[in-house]
Every structure is written in C-alpha cells, then in structure tokens.
C-alpha cells in the first residue's frame, strides 16, 4: 500500500506539471524569517502485532503475538504537531506523532509475552505507546505560471526516533512490560499545488531508512486544503484528506523484539499557521 501512495504522489506531480501549456518558472514567493505551526488528527484501522520476549530467550513470547485485535485494539487515534523555522527557502523542523493505544479483550488461546503467561479466556488489558519524533532540514522549490497556479516542492532530510512503551496486565498474573527508544535517518518529500485562489492539494511522504535493526517510520497522506486567511506563503489554512502509515521494528536478539503496526486508511484533518 505504501508503494501505491508513493506512485500516486509521483503521478500527482506529473499531472500538475503537464496541466498547463505555460512554462513553469521558478520564483521566490517570500523571503526573510518565518515560523510555522502545524497540528493534525489522524484516525484509522490498525493491524499487526507486538512480539516482546524477555531477554531474547526462546519460550518467553508467543510468535508474532499479541496481535492488536487480540488485545482489543482495532483503531488508532493519533495526534501530530510540528514547528518549522524558515529563512528564505531553508527551514529546520521538529515534530511529534503521538500514538497512544489501549484496549481490553479475552484472547481465545494462551498468550505468552515478556515471559508472562496469560491463560486462554483471561481478561487482558493493554496499554501501548508507539510515539515517534522527527527533526531535520527542508528546502523549498517554488514554481508558478502565467495563469496564477503554483507548485511547491519540499525535499527534506532528518532523523526519526521511535519511543515504545508496552504494558500487558491480567488479574492474578505479573504484568508484562517493556520500553525502549530507537532512532533512524529519515528522508521526505512534500508537494503542494494550487490552481490559484484559496484551494490547494498537498501530498507528503516521509520515511526512515530501516538499515539493519533500525526502525521503519513511514507516513504518507494526500489532502485538500483551504486558505481562509492570508496567502500561500503566510496566513492560516485547514486541510482534510486520507493517510497511511507503518511502524515496524525488529532487533537482532535470538528471539527478537518485533513490532509491526500498519495504520490506515486514515482520516486526516488539521491546520497550519505561518507567520
């Protein structure tokens, strides 16, 4: 599904660049210092599992369990916030995505996690945190044509950090809990197109580079927005669209900590203020 979104973003760019007969000319829309603040809420189905052994030892975890649906987690409400500091076409950014999940259920088969056995049919309560943070550098390319349309491209390079916390409890047994943080380099590309006027379409892909045992933190979305105050390079706007994301991690222990969370399709709604 991630390949579909990446292909869709590329096709969107190709469509934008071929939609007008006029020559696209690189422009400098606004110079000087600016700051931007973004906030969004994402909500979608979640699939995957949390395989958490104890010390990497055999027999201390069920294979690729618990699955999210086994512990009563079927949807993921996610908050996201980011801040950008910009000078001319250069920007540095920092952001956080808050993925806090909880649920209760009675697994139909015996579950072992972090060395604790949860018998089949027992009530299990789960609390899981899959937060990830990002920071880096972004550069802007801005093109316009004689019809008043514009295209902005924002390639970026940075670093992502997964902050994982996990706790599984059941009456009468010891809790299973684990937490750790893992980082990885990230690359991203955001593009925005407007035919002129207050409406725009935006697409974004950002992904860490999961070398060896580094986590994969992947996110993509496609949104439609409206500039209700100011103009494209400063003011306030809202947007609505769809998204998809993956959080995958596997270490190199004999029995690995193995996290797989696929979230989507997501509803994405948010705002951006730039001043």
Distances in Å between the alpha carbon of 262 and those of 3, 89, 111, 178, 219? 14, 34, 22, 20, 10
Top-confidence residue, 230 or 75: 75
Q: Which tokens go with 162?
A: 């997964």
Structural domain contains residue 179:
no
Structural domain contains residue 136:
yes
Structural domain contains residue 138:
yes
Write down the pLDDT at residue 29: 61
Structural domain contains residue 152:
no
Structural domain contains residue 59:
yes
- Non-local (6+) Cβ contacts of 238 within 8 A are 225, 226, 228, 269, 270, 271
Structural domain contains residue 156:
no
Write down the pLDDT at residue 150: 84
Indicate the number of domains in the chain: 1
Task: Please count the helices (runs of H) and the strands (runs of E) in the chain.
Answer: 1, 14
The SS3 of residue 250 is strand
Q: Give me the domain span that covers residue 3.
A: 1-11+29-147+203-222+249-275
- Non-local (6+) Cβ contacts of 115 within 8 A are 53, 54, 57, 60, 61, 176
Burial of 249 (0-12, 13-18, 19+ CB in 10 A): buried
Structural domain contains residue 254:
yes
- State the pTM of this model: 0.89
Structural domain contains residue 163:
no
User: In which band, very low, low, confident or very high, does the pLDDT at 2 lie, cut at 50, 70 and 90?
Assistant: very low
């Amino acid at each position: 599904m991630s390949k579909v979104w990446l292909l869709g973003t590329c096709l969107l760019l190709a469509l934008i660049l071929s939609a007008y007969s006029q020559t696209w000319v690189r422009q400098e829309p606004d110079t000087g210092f600016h700051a931007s603040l973004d906030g969004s809420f994402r909500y979608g189905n979640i699939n995957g599992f949390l395989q958490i052994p104890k010390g990497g030892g055999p027999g201390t975890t069920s294979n690729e369990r618990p699955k999210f649906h086994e512990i009563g987690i079927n949807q993921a409400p996610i908050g996201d916030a980011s801040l950008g500091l910009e000078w001319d076409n250069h920007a540095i950014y920092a952001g956080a995505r808050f993925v806090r999940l909880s649920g209760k259920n009675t697994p139909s088969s015996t579950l072992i996690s972090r060395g604790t056995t949860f018998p089949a049919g027992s009530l299990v309560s789960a609390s899981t945190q899959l937060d990830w943070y990002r920071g880096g550098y972004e550069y802007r390319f801005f093109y316009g044509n004689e019809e008043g349309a514009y295209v902005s491209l924002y390639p970026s390079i940075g670093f992502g950090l997964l902050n994982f916390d996990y706790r599984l409890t059941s009456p009468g047994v010891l809790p299973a809990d684990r937490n750790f943080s893992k980082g990885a380099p990230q690359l991203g590309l955001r593009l925005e197109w407007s035919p002129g006027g207050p409406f725009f379409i935006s697409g974004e892909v950002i992904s860490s580079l999961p070398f060896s045992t580094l986590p994969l933190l992947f996110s993509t979305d496609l949104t439609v927005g409206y500039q209700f105050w100011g103009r494209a390079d400063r003011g306030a706007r809202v947007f609505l669209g769809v998204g998809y994301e993956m959080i995958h991690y596997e270490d190199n222990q004999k029995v690995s900590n193995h996290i797989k969370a696929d979230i989507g399709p997501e509803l994405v709604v948010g705002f951006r203020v730039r001043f």
